[in-house]
Amino acid sequence: AQQRYATIRKEPALTLCGQRIALHMNAGLMADLPSLESSGAEGVGLFRTELQFLIRSKVPKRSEVAALYARVMDAADGRRVVFRTLDIGSDKVLSYMKRQDEPNPALGWRAIRVGLDRPGVLRMQLQALIRAANGRPLSVMFPFVAQLDEFRTARDHLMREIDREGRLGRALPEKLEIGAMLETPSMAFSPRQFYEEADFISIGGNDLKQFFFAADRENERVRRRYDTLNVSFLSFLEQIVKRCEDTGTHLSFCGEDAGRPVEALCFAAIGLRCLSMRPASIGPVKHMLRRSNLAEARAVIDTARASGAQSVRPAIIDWLRRRD
Ligand code: PEP
Ligand code: MG
Facing residues of 251 across strands? 201
Give residue 90's pLDDT. Answer: 74
The three-class DSSP label of residue 147 is: coil
Q: Is the minimum distance from the CB of 88 to ligand 1 under 6 angstroms?
A: no
pLDDT digits (tens, 9 = 90+) for 125-154: 999 999 999 999 999 999 999 999 999 999
pLDDT digits (tens, 9 = 90+) for 179-222: 999 999 999 999 999 999 999 999 999 999 999 999 999 999 99
Mean pLDDT of the chain: 96
Instruction: Tell me the CB-side half-sphere exposure of residue 23, using CA atoms within 13 A.
Output: 37
pTM beyond 0.95, yes or no = yes
Q: Is the minimum distance from the CB of 132 to ligand 1 under 6 angstroms?
A: no
Q: Is the minimum distance from the CB of 293 to ligand 1 under 6 angstroms?
A: no
* Least confident interval from 32-36, 97-101, 124-128, 135-139: 97-101
pLDDT band at 96 (very low <50, low <70, confident <90, very high): confident
Q: Give the distance, in angstroms, between the CA of residue 29 and the centroid of all CA atoms in the same chain.
A: 16
Q: Which atom of ligand 1 is nearest to the CA of 256?
A: 3
Q: Is the minimum distance from the CB of 259 to ligand 1 under 6 angstroms?
A: no
Residue whose CA is at the smallest distance from ligand 1 atom 8: 206
Q: Which atom of ligand 1 is nearest to the CA of 207?
A: 2
Q: Which ligand gives the minimal distance to the CA of 86?
A: 1
Residue 76 amino acid letter:
A
Residues 6+ apart with CB under 8 A from 88: 50, 53, 54, 94, 97, 110, 111, 114
CA 303, 307, 311, 315 dihedral sign is negative
Q: Which atom of ligand 1 is nearest to the CA of 205?
A: 3
Give residue 2's pLDDT. Answer: 78
Separation of alpha carbons 315 and 11, rounded Å = 29
Q: Is the minimum distance from the CB of 110 to ligand 1 under 6 angstroms?
A: no
